[in-house]
Structures are given as C-alpha cells and as structure tokens.
Amino acid sequence: MNNRTHGTSPVLLNNASLSTLPPNIITPKYDRKQLSPGIVHIGLGNFHRAHQAWYLQQLMQKGKAFDWAIIGAGIRPYDDIQRSKLSAQDYLTTLIELDPSGNAVEVVGSMIDYVEIAEGNQPLIKQMADPAIRIVAMTVTEGGYYINPTTQAFDASHPDIIHDAANPDTPGTAFGAIVAALKQRRTSNTGPFTCMCCDNLQGNGDILRNTVVSLAELSDPSFAEWISNNCSFPNSMVDCIVPATGEKEIALARSFGIEDTVPVTHERFRQWVIEDNFCAGRPDWNLAGATFTDAVHDYETMKIRILNAGHQVLANAGELLGMETIADCMANPIIAGFFTKVEQQEIAPYVEAVPDMTPSAYVELIGRRFSNPAILDTTRRVAFDGSSRHTGFVLPILRDALAANASIQGLSLVEALWARMCAGTREDASHIEPNDPYWETLNKTALQSKSEPLVWLQQSNTYGDLINNQRFAETFSQWLTQLWDNGVEATLRTYING
C-alpha cells in the first residue's frame, strides 16, 4: 500500500479518531472497551509494539484473547516520557511496514494502560500482584539481566542488586518488583504468573529465571524455592527488524494521515518461536503465526548467530566507513563481501538446520532483509552496546571455531573492527560519539591497543580466558595492526581475497 493522504491535516491518534482514519489503514475491528488485562510488559519500546503487541492484536481481530490485553510498564525516566506520549493517544500505536514493494499501515490497540513510574515501584508491584495478570513479559536489552557476561553467573555484587536484596519491598529493578509482586501473590493465594523474556538472549527464559530466583534467594531462600517450583520461564526467540523512531518516522506517519508521537516502523518479516511453558495460561499466539515448540534452542541459535552476530559483522565496519544505515552497509560491495564470507564460512558451520530452513539459506534471507533500503536501521543503533552484543552473539561462535580448530580469521577481524571503532574516530577522522554503557573504558583501552593490541583482549569481563588462546591473540593482533596501518577497506579486501 503506497497511497498516502495529500492535502489534508493528519488526524490525532486516539480512540475517538479511529473511525476517521483513511480507509487504507488497518484499525482495530474489536471494541477496545471490552478488553481486560492479562499481560504486564516491562520495557515498552518499539520492538514490543511491532512484535508481541501485533501478534496479540491479530487474535483480537479474530474475536479472541480479549482478556489478555497488555499493560505497559517501566522503571526508567525514559519510560515516564513514553507513558505520557502513549497515554495521550489512548495507548494506540501506528505500525508502518516498510518494504520496497510498498508500505502498509496498521494501528494496534492491544495495549490498554501503562503503569505509573514511581520510586520503589509500588504501582508496578500492585499491578503485577493483580490476579488478572497471568504473564509478565519484558524487553530490557540483552545486558540488563545482571549476569556476568564471561561466567554467566548472577552478579550479586551489583549495587542495584544489593539495594533490592536489602529493600525487597521497595525495589529499584524490574526483577525486584517481580519478586515483590510474587510474594504478595503467594501471601494472598493468588498464585504464580509466567515470566517471559523477549530479549535476544540464548536461553532467555533460563536467564530470566536465574536472575529472579537468585535475587529472591538473597532475601528469602524459601520464597526463592517457591518461585522456582511454581512460576514458569519459557524460552523464546523473537525476530523483526524495528528501527528507532525519530522525526522521519513521525513525518512518515503524518504522510499517511496520522498524528502519532511514537509511531513504529518495521520490516515485512516477523518470527516468534516460544516454548509452551505457561503456568497460568496464555493467548493462542500460534493462531496469529507464532510457533510453539520444544526446539526453541535451534531456532534461537540460528537467529542469534546469523542475524544478531551478523549485525555486529556489519556495524563496526560500517561505522568506521561512515555508512548511515545497515542497508548502506550491504550496498557497499566490500562490506557486503566481508559479511557474506564471515557468515557462510565462519558462522553458518556452527548452526543447526531447523524445519524448512538451512543455515546457508538463512544467511541469504538475512542478507536480503539487511539490504532493504526502506528500513532506515541506523548503523549506530546496531553498533550500540557492543560490550553486551559481542559477548553474547559473536564470542560463543569464536569459541566453537577454536574448539573445532577451524578458521577464525573473519571472527577475529570482527573483534578487531570493534576495537578500532571504540577508538572513537572514523576513517575520515570524524568523531564517533559514545555508544556503549562502558564507552569511557572501551575508548581508553582501544586507544592503548593501537600500539599494544593485546591490551584489548585483557578486558576479562568480555574475553575471559580467550586472552590465553595464542591463535586468537595472534590473529586478532595482526588484524588490528592492519586496520590502523592500512585502513578498513584495504584490510577487508585482504580478508575477502584470502
């Protein structure tokens, strides 16, 4: 659908205006007044609204799942801003599907409220303690689970965790709020709820279980055991490329006749694979295209290694060469050639096939998705938080390759590109703004590693014992030295040409 509205003022998005929107826009067919809550979702960013909220809307459009509506929640100052914007438009979201063959617009209404943001998280705890809530889901970024990236152990020494353990009734984290709500539910005999992680983490349900149960153990070990025995933490794999929202996206919504302060753009592709482990019931998301399976691990390994690690293959090289978007990276023959060779030769061999999809075919699919010029997914967004994303997405593949005594040339170059990017300047000498929670440390280490490459690998929270692997250390050092001496394009050509 490409037909846009011309010559008319955009309509303010809210319940009252739904019937006045242009006829080519998909709107809720159901009466939103009939909806009642069943899910609290913590971390209500673009991805959730383009993905999980959309799947739920498809059920509601069929007259189903009216008692599973979403209540948004958060714990950060940003969340209060988001709450205010969504409240002003009755929690409706405009989704704009971007595809070279034509765009489509849908207004999603599966969210009906947003919990007040408050210190101590009492409104959130009260909402999650409500018997109507049967699922608490979250997207809080890969690095937000208080797990040591090297050891994968719970980080009980983190100040946030120390605070919540000492103040279990007035926690500062989402996980502390979950523990407090579950304690109230046990006391009132309301029963447990399902905790569902929707972040890009392998075994994300297991990771969420570890964080919640470990935090509860610090203040009440017997209650932690109750959580472990009664709550469920299904693993899941989620996939849809969803760029950040800025003025361009707001203007795009206006061009379709909608005044929405927080519209969401996304690609024409969604996938949701879920372990069917819900202690208090669930919507029939499978009727909207989701897959329930016991083999979530195989799907998530394919996606995390080929798509998420693939993003890191592209992003640092693209940032260094001044590529604005991931599609720009794929349009650059040198970066695209680098991506294809690393993916097919050094990533795909460590991925198992899933029904109807081989790793090699998935690489080709991801390449097409990344090349979509309609998706303005910025290189900067994809490169953000490399300290979590390289640790979670790239280094496990590198370890497998080392164990197999196979090639690590491309994977080592990916790490060298990250180190070079963290030095804070592009090839044209322009400045790279801080783009990681640990940027100051990364930047200092990257500058030092220009003359002493192994200093970069001595970051134990990221690389652990990999510094002791002579083959990796030597390969990394050679690539980083080449990047500084010869530049990014020449170094990538060297790798591509073998």
* 55-68 tens-digit pLDDT: 999 999 999 999 99
493 DSSP 8-state letter? H
**pLDDT-derived band of residue 376, with 50, 70 and 90 as boundaries?**
confident
What are the tens digits of pLDDT across the range 254-287? Answer: 999 999 999 999 999 999 999 999 999 999 999 9
Phi and psi torsions of 478, nearest 5°: -65, -45
Q: Is the pLDDT of residue 126 over 90?
A: yes
**Mean pLDDT across 455-470:** 96
**DSSP H or E segment with residue 259:** strand 258-259
pLDDT above 80 (res 9)? yes
Q: How confident is the model at residue 7 (pLDDT cuts 50, 70, 90)?
A: low
Q: Tell me, what's the pLDDT at 4? A: 52
Does position 3 have pLDDT exceeding 60, yes or no?
Answer: no
Nearest of 151, 150, 147 to residue 160 by alpha carbon? 147
What pLDDT, in 10s, does the model give residues 79-105?
A: 999 999 999 999 999 999 998 888 899
Closest CA to 264 of 89, 77, 9: 89
Position 6 pLDDT exceeds 50 = no
Q: Dump the DSSP string for 352-382.
A: --BTTB-HHHHHHHHHHHHT-TT---BHHHH
Q: Give the tokens for residue 114.
A: 């947003």
Please state, in angstroms and rounded to a whole number, the distance separating the CA atoms of residues 437 and 389: 12
What average pLDDT does range 29-52 have in this prediction? 96
Distance CA 22, CA 62 (A): 22
Both tokens of 224, joined, read: 């932690």
- Let me know the angle formed at the C-alpha of 291 by 290 and 292, rounded to the nearest 5 degrees: 125
Contacts 24+ apart (CB under 8 A), 425-434: 426/319, 426/320, 426/321, 426/322, 427/320, 427/321, 427/322, 427/487, 427/488, 427/489, 428/322, 430/322, 432/319, 433/380
- Contacts of residue 429, defined as CB under 8 A and 6 or more positions apart, other chains included, come to none
CA-based torsion, 195, 201, 202, 206: positive or negative: negative
Contact call for residues 431 and 492 (beta carbons, < 8 A): no
The residues, ordered by sequence, that sit 6+ positions from 366 with a Cβ below 8 Å of its Cβ are: 306, 307, 310, 343
| From 43-52, 136-145, 240-249, the region with the lowest mean pLDDT | 136-145
Domains of the chain: 11-294 (3.40.50.720), 297-496 (1.10.1040.10)
pLDDT reading at 221 higher than 80: yes
What would you report as the CA-atom Rg of the chain, rounded to the nearest whole angstrom? 23
